[in-house]
Structure 1
């Protein structure tokens, strides 16, 4: 009887599904974030003119540390890890500064020195940052979650069109394949039993890939050329060097990353009905910092929680952190077995785009749901949401608009998530801190 009561009281986040479900659901999370995970080493490696072998090494190291970071974040140890279903991956906020560091004489060793310092800085700042949780009421969290979802939608659309830079970008057949995958997600969600609806994205990606094969969308040539086994060794490209300018630019990235991770932690906490405490938020940021330090040691880059997978949690309604932890284990295996990584990489971009539209739209809808509980009568909350959305979507609508600004400014403002989050925090302080609540707000606060 006591065991039964304990099981009933156990939160869904802490439940371990049967192995078959665990494996399928974990693989689904990997497929949802794989394209984004390998994009950063591809961009940085190509910008620095590295060989294909070196770029492949960066990708393997990235997948390995992504998996380890995910395990730390989901399972936790001591004061590291928020213990929520969050997938870790390289942050795009660091791409521009790293390319500049790497191509202006510093090279990879200067990048890795700055990455290690930025990770240590995040660990040190985490406790103080966690105490800022009172500045993230539902008004701010709902706005930030909405911005995260809307900011990611163009990524899904570009995938659906074939991937930015692809010769076939925008061809009708790409969009048709993406539409088929999206339709499969919708049909499974509507008509399939609950168990299958939870893996709707995985099934849609598998079926979409099978549909794509006879039409020439897939290319498995890289699978035969890839090494079966590979291990990323510490400081493969040389011992890190510590240059002041590089460290300063990466310190700015650290603040942006902490802002984005805070938004993702609050978003997934809302979705799984376990809002994080200040201490839990600090633990999640420490995990980011530790993953980033490991990234600098094992030849990869700064890490953050991935919003793509927050959308998948909302779409599938699977709240278990052990599912995402299993996905982290899969990433570790992919990092150690490059041949499997090439197999996953053969999934066509339009297939991922069709699934991404559903996932990222779910994130935006979750933010709107959070905002539905906020009072907009007799206060400035509407203008807080309006201006924050506007500022957050500026780099989405015009990606090169800040091209003439200093690097530190671009690092902050070219991320719609960090720009919108900072705007929401500041406007909430301006309009709501130190202001007496209206009679309507006080009445709503007293409602059971």
Structure 2
């Protein structure tokens, strides 16, 4: 039995570079470029799906892609410097597709006959909704509420030669209560998915799990990122790129510097349309094949946290099994329903209400979180503290609970003097 015993380990042992160690410069640049190429898939797919439905031309689509890449570079740099400081890429998210589809189908916009004018008015409506909805992450992040909550759960493109995106390039945003409320659902989903991605990134970067203060700081900066999405007009909101988190494990390099340089590539190539279009023309099936590996790796990292719980407990087996089953099957049902009927199972006369619930229940991470948190905090709670793994998580709840947190998560430029951990 001694030969087949694998004791729980706080950190992965077979990674080559951790969050604070850096590969040689040539390898760093190549890995950074690899991160840039990987996030191109989502950055091209989302505008390719949404812009034609908005009435936009191929030129409009190219400009949206360039804007999305530019803002993704800024958001990634802000997150790596001042947010969680984890090697996490922040880019466009499919979580926003349903609320955006609701805005696109708005009858007041559909009545506009000129396609380009309809595209501009739709983009401005999306911008307004993103600006308002971003306040959720900003408030929940900087008020520390999200960190406290985290304790309860355990194509070829036609592009111009040079284009520098700038705020309000599509015109002044327009605001609608219904649009904003629908967009808030995607912001909530983004927070849930990003929290899981941050914890996976910390494990793949050989760092401690981010304490509540650091998670809140990261979500606050992510809210500012969504605000920038709204101001610049990226056509969608942003979240942590799960595929790039998986790449940390695939390359066995969790260096923060790699992601920071990758952000520089995003900003640089977003301004050079023709050059960036060469890489953006990589066939989608190639991205799909890579996604199979990296998404599976991130899922496995999440499951690895169960080693700190008692998986010989029937209570834990029930919670784990039900969470996995409902977390996969419910979103699959909602997505299949949307594909066949062009609307979700929730289909009332209130479009914003439909978009809100359909977005929430189309997210595997969000459905899984709801099920897991409910069951973990209602089934034999007091008798199962050790089985739940609570003793292991205690020291990671606060910034000063583990001495290593200061090494991994302290702000640069001595900013902790002005923004001390709470």
Structure 2 match to 1:364: 299
Q: Which moved more, 1:359-368 or 1:308-317?
A: 359-368
Residue 395 of structure 1: CA displacement? 5.1
* TM-score normalised by length of structure 2: 0.77
Structure 1 ranges of 4+ moved more than 4 A: 436-445
- Cα 1:56–1:374 shift into 2, 3 Å: same
Equivalent in 377, 380, 383 of residue 315 of structure 2: 380
- Cα 1:103–1:74 shift into 2, 3 Å: same
Count, aligned residues: 347
Matched, 1:49 2:66: no
Structure 2 match to 1:178: none
Q: Secondary structure at the match of 2:308?
A: coil
**2:202 touches 2:210 (CA, 8 Å); kept in 1?**
yes
Question: In structure 2, what is the Cα distance between the partners aligned to 1:33 and 1:330?
Answer: 11
* TM-score normalised by length of structure 1: 0.72
Question: In structure 1, what is the Cα distance between the partners aligned to 2:92 and 2:363?
Answer: 14
Structure 2 match to 1:249: 182
Matched, 1:404 2:404: no
- Cα 1:298–1:377 shift into 2, 3 Å: same
Question: In structure 2, what is the Cα distance between the partners aligned to 1:14 and 1:248?
Answer: 40
Structure 1 match to 2:14: none
Structure 1 match to 2:212: 278
Residue 272 of structure 1: CA displacement? 2.1
CA distances 1:236-290 after superposition (whole Å, capped 9, x unpaired): 2210111111111112221111111111111111222321011110111112111
Structure 1 match to 2:365: 417
Query: For 1:24-35, what aligned pairs fall within 5 Å after superposition?
Result: 24-35=30-41
Query: For 1:115-194, what aligned pairs fall within 5 Å after superposition?
Result: 115-126=130-141, 127-137=144-154
Residue 372 of structure 1: CA displacement? 3.2
Which structure is richer in relative contact order (CA contacts within 8 A, separation 6 or more)?
1
Matched, 1:335 2:270: yes
Question: In structure 1, what is the Cα distance between the partners aligned to 2:171 and 2:153?
Answer: 42
**2:67 touches 2:165 (CA, 8 Å); kept in 1?**
yes
Question: In structure 2, what is the Cα distance between the partners aligned to 1:18 and 1:317?
Answer: 14
Structure 2 match to 1:93: 95
Question: In structure 1, what is the Cα distance between the partners aligned to 2:126 and 2:387?
Answer: 54
**1:235 touches 1:297 (CA, 8 Å); kept in 2?**
yes
CA distances 1:214-257 after superposition (whole Å, capped 9, x unpaired): xxxxx87x5xx532211112212210111111111112221111
Residue 347 of structure 1: CA displacement? 1.6
Residue 119 of structure 1: CA displacement? 1.5
Question: In structure 1, what is the Cα distance between the partners aligned to 2:151 and 2:145?
Answer: 12
Residue 428 of structure 1: CA displacement? 1.4
Question: In structure 1, what is the Cα distance between the partners aligned to 2:337 and 2:163?
Answer: 41
**2:138 touches 2:220 (CA, 8 Å); kept in 1?**
yes
Query: For 1:260-275, what aligned pairs fall within 5 Å after superposition?
Result: 260-274=193-207, 275=209
Q: Secondary structure at the match of 1:84?
A: coil
- Cα 1:315–1:396 shift into 2, 3 Å: farther
Residue 96 of structure 1: CA displacement? 1.3
- Cα 1:371–1:293 shift into 2, 3 Å: same
Bigger fraction of residues in helix? 1
**1:63 touches 1:331 (CA, 8 Å); kept in 2?**
yes
CA distances 1:291-347 after superposition (whole Å, capped 9, x unpaired): 111111111131110110111111221011111111111111121111122111122
Question: In structure 2, what is the Cα distance between the partners aligned to 1:47 and 1:118?
Answer: 22
- Cα 1:21–1:432 shift into 2, 3 Å: farther
Matched, 1:14 2:20: yes
Q: Secondary structure at the match of 1:314?
A: helix
- Cα 1:14–1:244 shift into 2, 3 Å: same
Q: What runs of 5+ residues in structure 1 fail to find an aligned partner?
A: 1-10, 138-218
**1:38 touches 1:63 (CA, 8 Å); kept in 2?**
no
Residue 397 of structure 1: CA displacement? 4.1
Q: Secondary structure at the match of 1:115?
A: helix
Structure 2 match to 1:238: 171
Matched, 1:299 2:233: yes
Residue 18 of structure 1: CA displacement? 2.7
Question: In structure 1, what is the Cα distance between the partners aligned to 2:390 and 2:103?
Answer: 52
Question: In structure 1, what is the Cα distance between the partners aligned to 2:260 and 2:240?
Answer: 13
Matched, 1:429 2:350: no
Structure 2 match to 1:69: 75
**2:331 touches 2:367 (CA, 8 Å); kept in 1?**
no
